[in-house]
């Protein structure tokens, strides 16, 4: 996988396979929308909680992981549609539109208004159930199968802890987002500098024009105004 990120394996953990953040819960809702049966979800949660999912590798539009169960070891490859060029641009602009959004993302937070504004701009971050595609080596007839659902549950935990995982899956890695924001800030600074220079030149030209007009007016008064010592006729 080109440019893939390999996430640490999650060991057995107590409790449910649910997420804790609002965006993680939205991911889980999409996973459960994609499932065909509640029994598959229960089995997938058991696999996820039991530490049966190997390290998950993520890259734009794709994730891969292995899952072991009583029948063997299975490889799951999943997909999520990436944003097109205009969508990626809109996402970057949305992040840059409000101060503090970058800091929130770096701190592991995903502002709700960022997601809403991105959606309105045509850059949907959170997936729906029909977007979660998968292929597994098992003979289960459903898509996603139990193994894919287990991987998707653990992906919810990754997205929970780091929203940049979601950005990467949608086609915009953390480094690329920060690089685009930096480039955008540099361009904005250059434009502002050019505008300030243009304004300064315009102000100087205006001042010079005022001086010229004032001097011309004073010269006209010297020629046409009568002097105090001129003889009265």
Task: Give domain limits for the chain.
Answer: 5-184
* Helix (DSSP H) and strand (DSSP E) numbers for the chain: 8, 5
Contact status, residue 172 vs residue 166, Cβ threshold 8 Å = no
Please give the share of the chain, as a percent, with pLDDT higher than 70: 78
Q: What is the pLDDT of residue 12?
A: 86
pLDDT tens per residue across span 60-118: 999 999 999 999 999 999 999 999 999 999 999 999 999 999 999 999 999 999 999 99
Average pLDDT of the segment spanning 184-201: 56
User: Dihedral sign, CA of 192, 195, 201, 202?
Assistant: negative
Residue 200 has pLDDT above 60, yes or no: no
Rounded to whole angstroms, the Cα distance separating 43 from 151 reads 12
Contact status, residue 19 vs residue 157, Cβ threshold 8 Å = yes
Which pLDDT band holds residue 184 (cuts at 50, 70, 90)? confident
Higher pLDDT, 193 or 33: 33
Rounded (5°) CA angle 199-205-211: 135
């Amino acid at each position: 996988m080109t440019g893939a990120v390999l996430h640490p394996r999650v060991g057995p953990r107590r409790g449910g396979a649910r997420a804790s953040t609002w965006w993680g819960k939205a991911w889980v809702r999409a996973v459960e929308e994609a499932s065909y049966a509640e029994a598959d979800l229960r089995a997938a949660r058991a696999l996820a909680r039991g530490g049966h999912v190997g390290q998950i590798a993520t890259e734009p539009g794709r994730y891969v992981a292995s899952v072991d169960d009583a029948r063997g070891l299975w490889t799951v490859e999943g997909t999520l549609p990436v944003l097109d060029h205009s969508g990626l641009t809109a996402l970057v602009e949305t992040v840059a539109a409000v101060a503090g959004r970058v800091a929130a993302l770096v701190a592991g937070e995903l502002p709700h208004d960022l997601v809403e504004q991105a959606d309105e701009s045509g850059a949907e971050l959170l997936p729906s159930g029909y977007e979660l595609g998968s292929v597994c080596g098992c003979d289960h007839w459903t898509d996603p199968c139990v193994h894919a659902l287990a991987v998707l549950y653990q992906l919810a935990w990754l997205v929970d802890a780091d929203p940049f995982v979601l950005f990467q899956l949608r086609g915009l890695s953390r480094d690329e987002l920060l690089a685009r924001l930096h480039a955008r800030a540099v361009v904005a600074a250059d434009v502002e500098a050019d505008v300030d220079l243009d304004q300064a030149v315009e102000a100087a030209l205006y001042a010079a024009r005022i001086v010229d007009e004032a001097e011309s007016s004073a010269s006209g008064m010297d020629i046409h105004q009568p002097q105090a010592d001129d003889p009265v006729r």
